[in-house]
Amino acid sequence: MAENKEKTTIVLFSGELDKAIAAFIIANGAAAYDHEVTIFFTFWGLNALRKDDQVFVKKGFLEKMFAKMMPRGANKLGLSKMNFGGIGPQMIKHVMKKHNALSLPQLIELAQEQGVKLVACTMTMDLLGLQKEELLDGIEYAGVAAYLGDATDAKVNLFI
Amino acid sequence: MAENKEKTTIVLFSGELDKAIAAFIIANGAAAYDHEVTIFFTFWGLNALRKDDQVFVKKGFLEKMFAKMMPRGANKLGLSKMNFGGIGPQMIKHVMKKHNALSLPQLIELAQEQGVKLVACTMTMDLLGLQKEELLDGIEYAGVAAYLGDATDAKVNLFI
Amino acid sequence: MAENKEKTTIVLFSGELDKAIAAFIIANGAAAYDHEVTIFFTFWGLNALRKDDQVFVKKGFLEKMFAKMMPRGANKLGLSKMNFGGIGPQMIKHVMKKHNALSLPQLIELAQEQGVKLVACTMTMDLLGLQKEELLDGIEYAGVAAYLGDATDAKVNLFI
């Protein structure tokens, strides 16, 4: 990778559909403008990376509880506003389809195709009991040091 | 505009009074220090730009529902914390008045006077069914590409 | 302080345990990499700086109500997700202990030891009726101008 590429980093901390969509629209936009883009998924943001299907891995009691209570994958996230027990996300998905906007799973796929680096924060994976087998293929694993290395070189750094 | 001005961009994604106040205080501060400042309003942040009065425009069913459920303008936003069904915002407005702090509508006016560029995200306007007639006068309309163009040149980029 | 140190600033607006932990992990990481780091505490973020014990200071009625309703100190913050009336924070604290992760009060102490500048926003202190006696020792007090001064020189600027 050339040294003179613009860099963009996003920390996706939030586990909500609307915020994840915003993060991926900015990331895909930046990648289309030839930025080197990294999204760091931490805390609830990790839920956007979970596979749709349940993956059977050994877990302790609290880890099982977290796994159960947290949404499994991009299709199951709620909204930060007007969630209304899941009706809000359906409304948003409906209007997005109507306007031919990409869905969150499609945005994630496009990001991977465009070479956006998706990095899961290993420290919060440990805390929430999430294991690599449960997350999407083709992502990377790192901690805060790697994030800071990328962010220090980047022009645009966002925390979402 | 001179090329050597510092630039600041803020994405206002959140539709809450407290976050909008924080965004405008930073934006007005940066403008006072002669930064070139842009606020991009996307998703729920667009509600801060809605006119107080209802504007009659043709809308589909879901767009009507969104329009009804979302707060109409800077005066009607709730708080991200301690909203208490609208009592929290009244308390905040009361203490702001008591301390002679500018209200959100006044902060928006000041921003426009200082030349802060207020940009509504056209993609999320489409999704939420908001039309130009419903938003404040004197604002601009653009997409993620324009945002990235500004952010890449800016020193301070925040997502609120 | 040398002029050529990298700089990092974080605005901590949110008053939630998980977001405060994320802010301090990034801040401590950046300080470990020899960045000059500043965290600006504004609005609900100020609650992370409150002393555990009640401090008796003269307050008006609304200020007393704010003081009562807001969490007093780093140990009493809730979660942005899955708070479940306080069970969520206990779960997170439990798994953090189990994984030998530093608690929020320990992260704050480490930040102060590493020379991270903790700055309370005086304008929002006024609004929420918080007084210096109620906040941790060794912190600084400033407004948006000081924040912008630091942020303009920094490579990494986050709003949390």
Please give, rounded to a whole number of angstroms, the shortest distance from the CA of B63 to a CA of chain A. Answer: 9
**How many interface pairs between B and C have CB atoms less than 8 angstroms apart?**
67
Nearest chain B residue to C121 by CA: give it.
B22
State the chains in contact with B (3 or more Cβ–Cβ pairs under 8 Å).
Answer: A, C
**A160 interfacial to chain B (CB closer than 8 Å):** yes
Q: DSSP characters for B9-68?
A: EEEE----HHHHHHHHHHHHHHHHTT-EEEEEE-GGGGGGGB-SS-------HHHHHHHH
Q: Which of C26, C6, C8 is nearest to C18 (CA)?
A: C26
Tell me the C-alpha distance between C147 and B47, whole Å: 27
Taking the C-alpha atoms of residue A116 and residue A77, their distance in angstroms, rounded to an integer, is: 21
Give the dihedral of Cα atoms A127, A85, C79, B124; nearest 10 deg: 90
Residues in chain C closer than 8 A to A159 (CB atoms): 22, 158-160
> Tokens for A7?
């860099």
pLDDT tens per residue across span B75-117: 999 999 888 888 889 989 999 999 999 999 999 999 999 999 9
The answer to whether B78 faces chain A, any CB pair under 8 Å, is no
Of B94, B155, B158, the CB nearest to C152: B155
Report pLDDT digits (tens) over B51-71.
998 899 999 888 898 889 999
pLDDT digits (tens, 9 = 90+) for C56-97: 999 988 889 888 999 999 999 999 988 888 888 999 999 999
**B37-52 pLDDT tens trace:** 999 999 999 999 999 9
Instruction: Extract the tokens encoding C130.
Output: 């918080």
Which residues from chain C sit within 8 angstroms of residue B82, using beta carbons? 69-70
- The string of pLDDT tens digits covering residues B113-159 is 999 999 999 999 999 999 999 999 999 999 999 999 999 999 999 99
Residue B1 pLDDT grade (very low, low, confident, very high; cuts 50, 70, 90): very low
Q: If you measure CA to CA, which chain B residue comes closest to C154?
A: B155
**CA of C112: how far to CAs of C31, C109, C137, C138, C140, in Å?**
10, 5, 10, 8, 11
Flag whether residue A91 sits within 8 Å of chain B, measured between CB atoms: yes
* Chain B interface disruption, residue of A13, A158, A159, A160, most B CBs within 10 A: A158
Angstrom CA distances, B24 to B37, B160, C11, stand at: 10, 11, 14
First to last CA, chain A: 26
CB pairs under 8 A between A and C: 67
Q: State whether residue C160 sits within 8 Å of chain A by CB.
A: yes
CA angle B21, B117, A156 (to 5 degrees): 80
Q: In this complex, do A62 and C94 lie within 8 Å of one another by their Cβ atoms?
A: yes
B148 to chain C, any CB pair closer than 8 A? The answer is no
Inter-chain residue contact C22 with A15, CB threshold 8 Å? no
Position C122 pLDDT exceeds 50: yes
Pair of tokens at residue C88: 């969520």
Whether the Cβ atoms of residue C44 and residue C13 lie closer than 8 Å to each other: yes
Q: Touching check for A127 and chain C: CB below 8 Å?
A: yes
pLDDT at C28: 98
Q: What domains are there in chain B, each with its CATH number?
A: 7-159 (3.40.1260.10)
Q: What is the ipTM, given to two decimal places?
A: 0.94
Nearest residue of chain A to residue C12 (CA atoms): A159
Residues of chain A short of pLDDT 70, as ranges, are 1-3
For B5, nearest residue in chain C (alpha carbons): C152
For residue A31, give Cα distances in angstroms to A9, A49, B155, C32.
11, 19, 20, 30
Q: Above 70 in pLDDT, residue C3?
A: no
- Determine the residue of chain B that is closest to C11 in CA distance: B158
* Residues in chain B within 8 Å Cβ distance of C65: 91
